[in-house]
Amino acid sequence: MLSLGRRPRFDIKRAFTRIARIHDEVHEQGGMLGRILDPETADQYVVLARRALRLPTNADRDIRPLLDDLTDMPIAGETARQLPIRLAGHYGLLRRGTFGPALIPEGEGVWEPLRIAEMRLGAIRPRREDGMIRLYLNMMADRMSGAHAGEVLKVELSHAKTVRFYSRILAYGKREYVPTHPELVGMVFFGLVEFHGEVPGIHRVFCPLNYRRLNRAIHRRRAEPCSRNHAGETPCAGCAHGLDTCDRAVHLRTWQRRQCRLCGNPRALFDPEEPYAEICLLCDPHLVEARDLARRERLLG
């Protein structure tokens, strides 16, 4: 356990405010969304970002290097999503020259503030310990602060442990509601990130009380009627809209509609990450098996 004097701290609400300001004042009002990040556009982006972050003029020289690896890329899609996180996550360094107390080294790892960006059904394979068939999840988590702010951490997690452990640590007690894995999207916590070779892993989890309150608020919003009438009576966990069109969504990108070769539905749902798929999300044999195993593991929970 962390000692009281070494608990990581990061004001996640202020980070979300800065991210929203960059999106609104730079991408939308500043007209940067969709533009190619050439040197001239990058210079304009730096000025708009500095104003959105309420930083002094001399911060321009520190913001500019944060865009160098994105030269000639369009400010769209995942780049447009990650850029505000990167800049807001570097706020402490840009303002004070240090990241502050958000990152605390421990052993071979570092405590980092993380936000779950996506939870996907992954592999089905026997567990090493007893050979039982288990379902695994592929989790994508946004790194919210530090030198890696704006990067996505990808880890594989046991589904059974996730629905029991993560849900209780992040928001719920042992006798409370246990959410399905997509409902964990958007929740925030501190993870002890360690690298074994080039593969990162989250080896411990810590969720302070203010983060748990924020996570509960996310769940409550998803339980409310849809304010945008995206899916009628469909709950957020089953809605086709992604975080690119709705801030309550439980997956990153809005599912696409086209004809399924198996069921023949002309408006079947497809994952945009699989542009050449011919079988929809409801008919895909692997996903059907994975969803059935997920239900059984939740019941055994």
In tens, the pLDDT along 74-108 reads 999 889 999 999 999 998 888 876 555 455 556 66
Q: What is the secondary structure of 155-207 as a DSSP string?
A: EEEEHHHIIIIIHHHHT--TTS----GGGGTT-EEEEEEEEETTEEEEEEEE-
Q: Nearest CA to 102 among 149, 59, 61?
A: 149
pLDDT band at 241 (very low <50, low <70, confident <90, very high): confident
- Statement: residue 1 has pLDDT above 70: no
- pLDDT at 289 (0 to 100): 93
- Statement: residue 288 has pLDDT above 60: yes
pLDDT: which is higher, 287 or 230 = 287
Q: Nearest CA to 118 among 262, 232, 250, 269?
A: 250
Single pTM value for the model = 0.87
* pLDDT tens by residue, 184-221: 899 999 988 887 766 778 888 888 888 988 988 888 88
d(CA 151, CA 280): 29
What is the residue whose two structure tokens read 């019941």? Answer: 299
- pLDDT at 139 (0 to 100): 92
- pLDDT at 141 (0 to 100): 93
* pLDDT tens by residue, 18-71: 999 999 999 999 999 999 999 999 999 999 999 999 998 888 888 998 998 898
- pLDDT at 2 (0 to 100): 47
- pLDDT at 233 (0 to 100): 54
* pLDDT tens by residue, 139-149: 999 999 888 88
Give mean pLDDT, residues 224-247. 75
* CA distances in angstroms from 191 to 104, 124, 137, 148, listed in the order given: 11, 25, 17, 14
Q: What tokens does 81 get? A: 């999503």
How many CB atoms lie under 10 A from the CB of residue 21?
18
Give mean pLDDT, residues 118-133. 84
Which residues have a Cβ under 8 Å from the Cβ of 183 and sit 6 or more positions away?
A: 219, 222, 236, 237, 250
